[in-house]
Amino acid sequence: MRKTFLSQNPSVMWFIAFLGLFTLAVAIGSEATGTGLISTSMVKTLGKTLCLCLIAIAMDVVWGYCGILSLGHFAFFGIGGYAIGMWLMYARTEGIVMTSLEGHVIPPTPQEVQDAIGNQIFGVVGSSDFPWLWAFSDSLFLQLLMVVIVPGLLALVFGWLAFRSRVTGVYLSILTQAMTLALSLWLFQNDSGLRGNNGLSGLQNIPGYEDTSQATTSLVFFMGSALALALGYILFAWVVSGKMGSVVQGIRDNEARVRFLGYRVERYKLFIFTLTAVIAGIAGALYYPQAGIINPAEIAPIASIYLAVWVAIGGRGRLYGAVIGAAFVSLLSSWFTGGGAPAINLGFYTILWTDWWLVLLGVSFVCVTLFFPKGIGGLFDYLVRKPS
Amino acid sequence: MFRHLLMLLCWVGIVGAAQAQDLQPVLQGHAEEIAKPSRSSVSVALDDLAASGAPQVSVFLEQWQDKGVWQREADGVFFFGTETGDDLTLRDIDTGAESSAPTNGFSQLKPNGGVRRLIGTALVQFQLTDPDLARRQSAVDSIARRPEADQLGPLRASIEAEPDAALKARKIQLTNFLSASFGDTSEERIAAITSMATDTSIEARAVMNQILSTKTATPSQTPSGNVARVLTSGDDLSQADAYAQLVAAGLAPTIISAAAIREALAAHVVGGRVGGIPTSQLDTDAGRAKAYAALAAAGTVPPLVTELDQQSAVADMNFYEVYDEPDSAVTDAARATLDSIETRVAAAQTVDLTLDALSLASIYFLAAIGLAITFGVMGVINMAHGEFIMMGAYTGYVVQLFVPDYTLSIIIALPLAFAVTFAAGVVMERLVIRHLYHRPLETLLATFGISIALQQLAKNIFGTQARPLTSPGWLDGAWVISDVIQISYIRIAIFVLALLFLGLILFVLKRTRLGLEVRAVTQNPGMAASMGINPDRINMMTFGLGSGIAGIAGVAIGLYAKVTSEMGADYIVQSFMTVVVGGVGNVWGTLAGASLIGFLQKGIEWFNPSNTLAAQTYMVLFIILFIQFRPKGIVAQKGRAAAD
Amino acid sequence: MNDTLLEVSGVSKSFDGFKAINNLSIQIAEPELRAVIGPNGAGKTTFMDIITGKTRPDSGHVVWGERNISLLGMSEADIANEGVGRKFQKPTVFEAQTVRQNLAMALKNPRGPLAVLLHRKTPSNAARIEGIAAEIGLTESLTRIAGELSHGQKQWLEIGMLLAQEPRLLLVDEPAAGMTVEEREKTTDILKRAAKTRAVVVVEHDMEFVRRLDCKVTVLHEGSVLAEGSLDHVTSNPKVIEVYLGRGHA
């Protein structure tokens, strides 16, 4: 079945092939393999970009295919990051605490170990007790499960409430934005149990692999991200092709018609919303160990809007468009804001791109919406179809 | 006793003011205490000074307090003196005759802070009857700041002759406070306390609370003293706290803490064993307890206080708090009065909260009404609405750079902000929105693009730090109704502005040609067009109007909050919620939405005052749930059109 | 005699005090072809909305099938799955998808997300699609994007989608609007053929089109039934004449 599906969708094959070559090239060029053509920080940036591409295709499915402009998918991304971050932080702190307690005449009791870890982690918010949220943080397996379950469950409950009462269009967008806002405000509180605005940090250190260099770790995560993107791409391409794709796009174009054809539109929306939320959570769980730190500002509503911007610029309704958009805009953004772009001297005024990049992005975004509703991906389509 | 003397003194002071009496002899009688005063010794001298009844006493005390009294070293006579270079200008204390002398032979009296305060207290008695109103005022204020028992007499005596009505009322109130705390008899105090039942001032509450102050009493089998509250172990008091009280009172042995056990064990390791137990087994609480028990049995460490020991120690004891005030009749009266005051305070707080919520609702209304017009009437989501608010606020700031008069600048800024944002809105409608009608999600995104561009642009022009938008002087301050209820004028102004806008918008929509055309286009664009209405023009005007109002809201918001490039973003989500909760396409709906959200936010903040973040979280969650049950908002559009 | 498939009795619905439907009672048999006519605002569209679950009536009953199920309170999708198909006034097909995809989506098959996700193309489904395409005259256009079709073809495609649903009751709202004469004839044929095996209710303005359908006619006025019978019978009814002409004079 997979075979027929792939042969029917050559663009998926092309994408996987390209991604494979790209991964291979980065692996060869990375410091971990000794050539050192690509710096470790660059490998991390590329790995993070792949994660952003993964959430971008999720966003594309939910918005470009199903027509739900969710301004909340970055919240799911963040939840995934927090879920894995809890384990990373707990396990690493446990290691540090055990080392510091070693050699004492009287061996520590489990309670003492727990208290010391709690003190280390929650000292910054003036607490030392473990909140109930951290109940499973000592188990990698359970926290990995959380990466999938928490975003999925939240999306399921929220989506069920919203779709059941037939909130659609702009209202739904604002509702998802409200959800994101509520989540980030909650996380900003010190007593949320997730270290308030300090967030979780030190996530780049993988417990159990303290002796492994960051060059190797980052390459492993890069390849992991590439694999996740490839699998995610195939999954979504499979979902949006065939009859499911027909129904989902039908919902986007004319919800009432689909309903009168006898499809329970709410269930389909819920399925898509939840599935993409889970993938967003996975993307986040891969992203934040590479970023090293996660804090509530990452989840602010603006992040989810940027996600929509990437997909729109890349081109909605085509998965590779979302990948192009996310990669292009996020890399360009870090180039501009990182001071990589040369300043332009107008004689009377010097344009510093750190100041003007957002203006440029905003204006170009308006232009894309107005003049190229199909985005960069649409241009790509045009070029590919031209010769035939 | 002293009080009677003072009363006599005051009486003497009033009746026999003319009677000349020399102060110097009295001073010489206490020369030692006056020249080298200490807090303990000076009070006798002060009493005698006051008792002398000499009119110069208050002047002397003031000078003494201000280090203006000098003593001639040769014979110990006191003078008022002013230092000029090496010389002193001296004034005789009784006659006022001036003379001059070199500083050498004199020493300045420098009472320390504690003594100066005592002098001040003594002075108050004189100042209370001073002919100068300001000095009487300050004397009363000083009593209010530091009420003391011996001030009651002079204060009470000064009421009768007080010419100023307001000050007289204040003196009576203060006398009540003092007699409540320091009255001679229980009856007097209870009468004073009862008379305060309607006084919601913070001072009155402080007096009551002071009378009702309690301390933890030593635990005992039978409570004694004026018992405020008996604490039951488990409910009011945890067992650990109860036991800690026993320990503090020396009635029970100290608990050996987990850390102390650990240290004790570590100190007694012998050959890898503690009390015969290998250290490797000490990684559990049970193991440690066992080892410690072995040590205790050998007598090397004090025995462990077990949970059971604590329980039995606590069980047959009573834990209670007693009032500092021994008289239970007084404390009962104070409790009753405080309850009555607190009921009134609660009522007043409700009023205050309502006013607060009302002003917050006005702000949300102002911020959202422009959005309601563009969103409701045209179905256009304008994510840059917040940036229009910001633009209005910066317009106000720029106007103030050129027009220094704040009143005038605000009068200029309001229409100018409207004009600027109206123009910006029209330009945006022409260039962007017009091409995106019937594609609401795309409009949302395009206007978001404009929003980030405008925000960054403002940052580039005005910098990242907050800019001031100063309100005119007559808007400073607050309308103080009582200690509990007060509302700043600026919020009243915003409330009035919101009302004005409500009226104005209703007028424009319901009574003008433009409003008629707007409603026509909203209901049926095709039909409107065929009636000769140009929908293009109407859309442009509507969008301009909505944006212009945002500009004015910006000036209003800028007056009480800071003007930053991000201020718009702070309001945009709330504004959307206001519109959505209220019901789209209806001015009254926006009003209802703004009120609901304003009151809700204040209400939640009241329940949880320390945590505004939590308040916002709960509010957003509430709104999400609210939309579940009323997807069309409070004031839903009705009719068949609404079904789709 | 035919069995009653749908029984609407005593249904009322008002919007803001305006009575769109007022104590309306209609019975539809299976098979049957029925035309519903009436002036603007007679409640024709609301009548369809109530049957298909889009609008809840204030009072009355809508009873369906042999087991006398009440359609009130059921969701649109459930009612559709019970066998009620609805065609909107404006052609609503999925313009971004091919004709084949449109028909495949409508084809009577399990409607759950999981079943749809795991759905595979089968020869029998393909044959059914071909059959319907032939019926509506779109065999040549199966691979075309629906958005490229002409107005009439879109109307037929929508009817085809309804047929693919295999409904027992077909509600058709002004199918002939905007069609050329030939297209109307073809539409009439499709509807008449469909009505041989199922109930078809056609709401129409156009008297000529109704005459061509040659069936029982129900005249709605102010939300209730004014007259019922053959076209000639109802057009000779003085009340009907008054309603139509009265409106015409105003």
Asked if residue B306 is part of any domain, the answer here is yes
> Among the ranges A8-17, A243-252, C23-32, which has the highest mean pLDDT value?
A243-252
The residue segments making up the domain with residue A293 are: 2-385
Domain-terminating residue out of B73, B102, B127: B127
Q: Which of residues 539-578 of B touch A (CB under 8 A)?
A: 569, 573, 576-577
Which CATH homologous superfamily contains domain C3-91+167-249?
A: P-loop containing nucleotide triphosphate hydrolases (3.40.50.300)
C46 and chain B: CB distance < 8 Å anywhere? Answer: yes
C48 and chain B: CB distance < 8 Å anywhere? Answer: no
DSSP type of residue A38 = B
Percentage of chain C exceeding pLDDT 70: 97
What distance lies between CA B537 and its chain's CA centroid? Answer: 51
How high is the pLDDT of residue B547?
92
A262 and chain C: CB distance < 8 Å anywhere? Answer: yes
Same-domain status, B94 and B31: yes
How high is the pLDDT of residue B485?
78
Q: Do B643 and C49 touch (CB under 8 A)?
A: yes
Instruction: Search chain A and give the residue with CA nearest C106.
Output: A261
B642 and chain A: CB distance < 8 Å anywhere? Answer: no
Asked if residue B573 is part of any domain, the answer here is no
* A106, A173, A178: residue with CB nearest B620: A178
Residue from A65, A70, A160, A170 to probe the interface with B (highest B Cβ count within 10 Å):
A170
Contact B50, B125 (CB under 8 A): yes
The residues, any chain, with a CB within 8 Å of residue A388's CB and separated by 6 or more, are none
B640 and chain C: CB distance < 8 Å anywhere? Answer: yes
CA nearest neighbour of B175 among B194, B199, B151: B151
pLDDT at B639 over 50: no
User: Could you tell me how many CB contacts below 8 A there are between chain A and chain B?
Assistant: 147
Task: For residue A57, give how far its alpha carbon lies from the nearest alpha carbon of chain C (Å).
Answer: 18
Q: Do B616 and A169 touch (CB under 8 A)?
A: no
How high is the pLDDT of residue B71?
85
Asked if residue B333 is part of any domain, the answer here is no
Contact residues, chain C, for A243 at CB < 8 Å = 104-105, 116-117, 119
- Residue pointed to by tokens 């004009």: B419
Name the band, by pLDDT with cuts 50, 70 and 90, for residue A280. very high
Give the ipTM. Answer: 0.88
Q: Do A260 and C85 touch (CB under 8 A)?
A: yes
Phi, psi (degrees; rounded to nearest 5) at C217:
-120, 135
Task: For residue A139, give how far its alpha carbon lies from the nearest alpha carbon of chain B (Å).
Answer: 22
- Residue pointed to by tokens 């490797």: B280
Task: For residue B595, give how far its alpha carbon lies from the nearest alpha carbon of chain A (Å).
Answer: 19
> Among the ranges A74-78, B64-68, B196-200, B339-343, which has the highest mean pLDDT value?
A74-78
The residues, any chain, with a CB within 8 Å of residue B103's CB and separated by 6 or more, are B83, B86, B87, B88
Specify the range with the lowest mean pLDDT, choosing from A322-331, B294-303, C51-60.
B294-303
Using one digit for the tens of pLDDT, what is the confidence trace for A178-187? 889 889 888 9
Task: For residue A368, give how far its alpha carbon lies from the nearest alpha carbon of chain C (Å).
Answer: 21
Name the band, by pLDDT with cuts 50, 70 and 90, for residue B551. very high
Whole-angstrom distance, CA of residue B143 vs CA of residue B128: 10
Mean pLDDT across chain A:
88
Phi, psi (degrees; rounded to nearest 5) at B467:
-105, 145
pLDDT at A226 over 50: yes
The residues, any chain, with a CB within 8 Å of residue B242's CB and separated by 6 or more, are B219, B231, B233, B314, B317, B319
Name the band, by pLDDT with cuts 50, 70 and 90, for residue A384. low
Q: Do A361 and B441 touch (CB under 8 A)?
A: no
Whole-angstrom distance, CA of residue B34 vs CA of residue B30: 6
Q: Do B620 and A69 touch (CB under 8 A)?
A: no
Using one digit for the tens of pLDDT, what is the confidence trace for B503-533? 888 888 888 888 888 878 777 777 777 888 8
Whole-angstrom distance, CA of residue A118 vs CA of residue A96: 12
Contact residues, chain A, for B625 at CB < 8 Å = 161
The total number of structural domains that make up chain A? 1
* A112, A158, A312: residue with CB nearest B445: A312
Contact B638, C16 (CB under 8 A): yes
How high is the pLDDT of residue A4?
63
Contact residues, chain A, for B459 at CB < 8 Å = 355
- What does the H/E/C string look like for B327-367? CHHHHHHHHHHHHHHHHHHHHHHHHHHHHHHHHHHHHHHHH
Chain A neighbours (≥3 Cβ pairs under 8 A) are: B, C
Q: Do A260 and C111 touch (CB under 8 A)?
A: no
Q: Do A244 and C81 touch (CB under 8 A)?
A: no
Say how many Å lie between the first and final Cα of chain C, rounded. Answer: 43
Mean pLDDT across chain B:
81
DSSP class per residue in B457-513 = HHHHHH-SS-B--PPPGGG-SEEESSSS-EEEHHHHHHHHHHHHHHHHHHHHHHHSH
Q: What angle do CA B437, B517, B379 make, to 5 degrees?
A: 25
Percentage of chain A exceeding pLDDT 90: 41
Whole-angstrom distance, CA of residue B125 vs CA of residue B118: 12
Q: Do C20 and B640 touch (CB under 8 A)?
A: yes
* A242, A249, A263: residue with CB nearest C96: A249
Asked if residue B193 is part of any domain, the answer here is no
Q: Do C97 and A249 touch (CB under 8 A)?
A: yes
Task: For residue B637, give how far its alpha carbon lies from the nearest alpha carbon of chain C (Å).
Answer: 10
Q: Do C80 and A256 touch (CB under 8 A)?
A: no
pLDDT at B150 over 80: no
Residues counted in chain A: 388
Task: For residue C53, give how far its alpha carbon lies from the nearest alpha carbon of chain A (Å).
Answer: 9
Q: Do B643 and C55 touch (CB under 8 A)?
A: yes
pLDDT at B131 over 80: no
The residues, any chain, with a CB within 8 Å of residue A199's CB and separated by 6 or more, are A293, A294, A295, A296, A297, A298
Task: For residue A13, give how far its alpha carbon lies from the nearest alpha carbon of chain B (Å).
Answer: 31
C115 and chain A: CB distance < 8 Å anywhere? Answer: no
pLDDT at C248 over 50: no
Contact residues, chain C, for A264 at CB < 8 Å = 75, 77, 111-112
- Residue pointed to by tokens 């990437």: A310
How high is the pLDDT of residue A17?
93
pTM, two decimals, is 0.82
**Beta-ladder partners of C84:** C169
Specify the range with the lowest mean pLDDT, choosing from A97-106, A209-218, B9-18.
B9-18
How high is the pLDDT of residue A282?
96
Contact residues, chain B, for A66 at CB < 8 Å = none
Averaged pLDDT, B368-376: 83
How high is the pLDDT of residue B457?
92
Task: For residue B288, give how far its alpha carbon lies from the nearest alpha carbon of chain A (Å).
Answer: 9
Domain-terminating residue out of B323, B358, B380: B323
Instruction: Search chain C and give the residue with CA nearest B641.
Output: C15
Name the band, by pLDDT with cuts 50, 70 and 90, for residue B20. low
Using one digit for the tens of pLDDT, what is the confidence trace for C71-89? 888 888 889 888 899 888 8
Instruction: Search chain C and give the residue with CA nearest B640.
Output: C15
Name the band, by pLDDT with cuts 50, 70 and 90, for residue A2. very low
pLDDT at B78 over 90: no
DSSP class per residue in B601-638 = HHHHHHHSTT-HHHHHHHHHHHHHHHHHH-TT-SS---
DSSP type of residue B236 = T
Contact B212, B323 (CB under 8 A): yes
What residue ranges do the domains of chain C occupy? 3-91+167-249
A67 and chain C: CB distance < 8 Å anywhere? Answer: no
Averaged pLDDT, C126-148: 88
Using one digit for the tens of pLDDT, what is the confidence trace for A259-273? 999 899 999 999 999
Determine what percent of chain C falls in helix, strand and coil, rounding each to the nearest 5: 40, 25, 30
How high is the pLDDT of residue B578?
86
Residue from A5, A8, A246 to probe the interface with C (highest C Cβ count within 10 Å):
A246
Same-domain status, B30 and B83: yes
Residue from B523, B632, B640 to probe the interface with C (highest C Cβ count within 10 Å):
B640
Give burial (CB, 10 Å; 0-12/13-18/19+) of B512: exposed
How high is the pLDDT of residue B453?
92
Whole-angstrom distance, CA of residue B379 vs CA of residue B374: 7
Using one digit for the tens of pLDDT, what is the confidence trace for B107-123? 888 888 788 878 877 77
Whole-angstrom distance, CA of residue A176 vs CA of residue A178: 5
Q: Do A164 and B628 touch (CB under 8 A)?
A: yes
Same-domain status, B389 and B512: yes
How high is the pLDDT of residue B16?
42
How high is the pLDDT of residue B370?
86
Name the band, by pLDDT with cuts 50, 70 and 90, for residue B548. very high
The residue segments making up the domain with residue B531 are: 348-565
Distance (Å) of CA A176 to CA A162, A182, A276, C224: 9, 10, 14, 44
3-class DSSP assignment, residue A127: coil
Name the band, by pLDDT with cuts 50, 70 and 90, for residue C249. very low
Q: Do A264 and C75 touch (CB under 8 A)?
A: yes
Asked if residue B182 is part of any domain, the answer here is no
Averaged pLDDT, A295-310: 88
Averaged pLDDT, C184-206: 87
C126 and chain A: CB distance < 8 Å anywhere? Answer: no
Asked if residue B102 is part of any domain, the answer here is yes
User: Could you tell me how many CB contacts below 8 A there are between chain A and chain C?
Assistant: 72
Averaged pLDDT, B555-584: 83
- What does the H/E/C string look like for A299-332? HCHHHHHHHHHHHHHHCCCCHHHHHHHHHHHHHH
Name the band, by pLDDT with cuts 50, 70 and 90, for residue B4. low
Tokens coding B494: 């915003």
CA nearest neighbour of C246 among C214, C211, C222, C216: C222
User: Could you tell me how many CB contacts below 8 A there are between chain B and chain C?
Assistant: 10
Q: Do B283 and A166 touch (CB under 8 A)?
A: no
Percentage of chain B exceeding pLDDT 90: 8
Strands (E), chain A: 200-201, 293-294, 344-345, 350-351
Whole-angstrom distance, CA of residue A258 vs CA of residue A269: 12
Averaged pLDDT, B81-104: 82
Check the CA dihedral C142-C147-C149-C154 and report its sign: positive
Determine what percent of chain A falls in helix, strand and coil, rounding each to the nearest 5: 75, 5, 20
Same-domain status, B372 and B464: yes
Whole-angstrom distance, CA of residue B180 vs CA of residue C232: 102
* A239, A257, A264: residue with CB nearest C111: A264
Percentage of chain B exceeding pLDDT 70: 94
Whole-angstrom distance, CA of residue A78 vs CA of residue A299: 6
Whole-angstrom distance, CA of residue A258 vs CA of residue A264: 8
B623 and chain A: CB distance < 8 Å anywhere? Answer: yes
pLDDT at A76 over 90: yes
Task: For residue C52, give how far its alpha carbon lies from the nearest alpha carbon of chain A (Å).
Answer: 8
CA nearest neighbour of B197 among B352, B344, B351: B344
Chain B neighbours (≥3 Cβ pairs under 8 A) are: A, C
A235 and chain C: CB distance < 8 Å anywhere? Answer: no
B259 and chain C: CB distance < 8 Å anywhere? Answer: no
